Amino acid sequence: MSKLWGGRFTKETNQLVEKFTASIEFDQKLALEDIEGSLAHVEMLGSCGIIPAEDVEQIKKGLTSIREKVLNHEVSFSVEDEDIHMNIERMLIEEIGPVGGKLHTGRSRNDQVATDMHLYLRNQTKEIIELIRFVQEAIISQAKQHVETILPGYTHLQRAQPISFAHHLLAYFWMFERDKERLQDSLKRINWSPLGAGALAGTTFPIDRQFSAKQLGFETVYPNSLDAVSDRDFILEFLSIASILMMHISRLSEELVLWSSQEFQFVELDDSFCTGSSIMPQKKNPDVPELLRGKTGRVYGNLIGLLTTLKGLPLAYNKDLQEDKEGMFDTVETLAGSLQLLAPMIETMTVKRENMYKAVSQDYSNATDLADYLAGKGIPFREAHEIIGRIVLYAIQHDKYLLDLSLGEYRNFSGAFEEDIFEVLQPKNVVAARNSYGGTGFSQVETQLNLAIEKLEK
């Protein structure tokens, strides 16, 4: 089969070179975007009088019929035609004859591939935004049931202060909200049209770039043809946002792994989201959150890979840029798969309130409240902190918790203590008292929950 660019060559391409340089194995994913871009381009060629209306009609018919075949999986791609662009152009010429060769007027594969990538990433970005919403809905459905479920809050993975479980879950809601915002914002830049930039310098034909941009739903066109064909920032941006998103998924997954361990027993993941061991009959392993945590590595890798590919690339198009695709496809698939699992896994997990409560009643995480109590009686906080520190030490030495000490024992440390400290120390009251805006106090958590629901409804 002769190459579409064969005129200048006297020898066949080495077969290994052909295989090495071809991208069709992976860029066939862009078939529909490629056809969409071509339809807009040929419409523009017609409207600018660059090719006759009958030719436009024929080309459009040909492209539409190829699109049907792609949708029905009736096409087979060939490595000889290197990439999706030349495969489809070849099919078009086979379908409608030599007039199909007019499609590539005033266009290069360089602006063509960039256009395809913009279209692809626009679709995927919207998809991922939707999938994040499902995760947020799952978080909200659990949070609604657990405003008054109390568990230890940690710093340094040491028990710090008791908190509402809904408060803990909602922390992730806001992380995902920012991820969504970042994706939404990136659409502004994805919506720049490179089409019509030509190989690098524009074209001699009187094209109308705004026209094809509008056809494709882009908001504006790249003002510089060199930038248009060389830019992969929009992909880097997607990969960066994806990395942050995946890091959030990974942190949440890590907590789910910890919480479902024998040591914590705060949650139990549904059987349908766990797997067993081939040797140890008792095992129920949290494979899904483990794998979500593990897959974060490849998402970071795809970002670093493309950053490295782009570093030091001279303008304008270089074949290196073909390496922009596989990592991006992989990240899209990894994210979509991860988010699709995360939502139902959160939704179906069982929260073990009693174990959480048992944990907060067997620790010293109400110590800050005692210090606050003394500070409320006019003792400088630093001094109060010192006194409570000594009380905690005393309690540990006597194998007791703060609620087990008597008023008499308290008064040995400070005369400011009165009977009401036992109310102050109750875990429920400890949580309820943190009523500052954004705090874990139950009424604050209710407010936060309503805000989150409002955000999601928008």
Interface with ligand ARG (CB under 6 A): 23, 27, 83, 109-110, 113, 317, 319, 321-322
- Least distance in Å: CB of 24 to ligand ARG? 8
Q: Which of 73, 76, 156, 436 is catalytic?
A: 156
Q: Which amino acid is at 66?
A: I
Structure token digits, residue 43: 């419409």
Instruction: Assess contact for 148 and 164: CB atoms under 8 A.
Output: yes
d(CA 268, CA 356): 12
d(CA 60, CA 450): 50
- Least distance in Å: CB of 42 to ligand ARG? 19
Rounded to a whole number of angstroms, the distance between the first and last alpha carbons of the chain is 55
Structure token digits, residue 403: 């609620």
Which residue number, 29 or 248, has a Cβ lying nearer to ligand ARG? 29
- Least distance in Å: CB of 322 to ligand ARG? 4
Residue 212 among the catalytic residues: no
- Least distance in Å: CB of 225 to ligand ARG? 14
DSSP string, 6-46: GGG-SSPPPHHHHHHH--HHHHGGGHHHHHHHHHHHHHHHH
- Least distance in Å: CB of 301 to ligand ARG? 20
Structure token digits, residue 249: 């998924």
CA distances, 40 to each of 153, 215, 324 (Å):
56, 6, 24
Contacts of 35 (CB under 8 A, 6+ apart): 63, 66, 67, 70, 88
Q: Which of 78, 141, 261, 277 is catalytic?
A: 277
Determine the 3-state secondary structure of 135 from DSSP. helix
DSSP string, 150-214: EEEEEETTEEEEEEEHHHHHHHHHHHHHHHHHHHHHHHHHHTEE-TT-TTTT--SS---HHHHHH
- Least distance in Å: CB of 117 to ligand ARG? 8
d(CA 430, CA 368): 9
Contacts of 10 (CB under 8 A, 6+ apart): none
- Least distance in Å: CB of 201 to ligand ARG? 13
Which residue number, 104 or 248, has a Cβ lying nearer to ligand ARG? 104
Which residue number, 113 or 332, has a Cβ lying nearer to ligand ARG? 113
Which residue number, 156 or 319, has a Cβ lying nearer to ligand ARG? 319
- Least distance in Å: CB of 9 to ligand ARG? 14
Instruction: Assess contact for 104 and 111: CB atoms under 8 A.
Output: no
Which residue number, 250 or 322, has a Cβ lying nearer to ligand ARG? 322
Residue 167 among the catalytic residues: no
Structure token digits, residue 113: 């591939």
Structure token digits, residue 301: 């890798």
Determine the 3-state secondary structure of 221 from DSSP. strand
Which residue number, 5 or 381, has a Cβ lying nearer to ligand ARG? 5
Structure token digits, residue 11: 């020898």
Pick left, alpha or beta for residue 161 (phi over 0 → left; psi -120 to 50 → alpha; otherwise beta).
beta
- Least distance in Å: CB of 109 to ligand ARG? 4
Which residue number, 117 or 405, has a Cβ lying nearer to ligand ARG? 117
Which residue number, 64 or 318, has a Cβ lying nearer to ligand ARG? 318
Instruction: Assess contact for 108 and 198: CB atoms under 8 A.
Output: yes
Structure token digits, residue 131: 């999938």
Which residue number, 321 or 345, has a Cβ lying nearer to ligand ARG? 321
Among all residues, which ones are annotated catalytic?
156, 277
